[in-house]
Amino acid sequence: MVRADSGFENGSVDGLSWSGDLPTNGITDLFRTSGDKVRFSDISPLLPQLAGLNPAYQAGAIGKDTYRTGTDTPTIVMPNVLLIRTDLDANVACAVTKTLFEKKDTPAQASPAAAAGISLDTARRTDLVPLHLGAAAR
């Protein structure tokens, strides 16, 4: 596999698509090593079509300070969802959910952007995926 930063340098990569938390280490490295040779493309015009497939797709932005790009870049975002089997014991699901909220500073160390959106209100908005009975009890 060619790393994006070396691929841009040697001409074997013209573009890429990725999905991940902000900032993503590989994208940070790409901007650090390739600087003004790379840029984000605004994919937000695709939102109506994607939202028609799944309402979880939403308008968002990559903030200019995330990768020091000079301007915010409109994009399409999708919330992070923790999925568990429906046959998981309800007490275990409740304990996992409770721990996630009580210890949300720990995942914030790995993904500040993802952890920033963790709240009881946002956690209940799962739209197409029903909450596990144990998670709903929390």
pLDDT at 115: 66
* pLDDT tens-place values along the chain, 138 residues long: 446 567 777 778 888 888 888 888 889 988 888 878 889 999 999 999 999 998 889 999 999 999 999 999 999 998 777 788 889 999 999 998 888 888 877 777 776 666 666 777 777 777 677 888 888 776
pLDDT at 40: 94
pLDDT at 1: 45
pLDDT at 68: 92
pLDDT in tens, 7-30: 777 778 888 888 888 888 889 988
Q: How many CB atoms lie within 10 A of CB 56?
A: 16
Segments making up each domain of the chain, as ranges: 18-77, 90-137
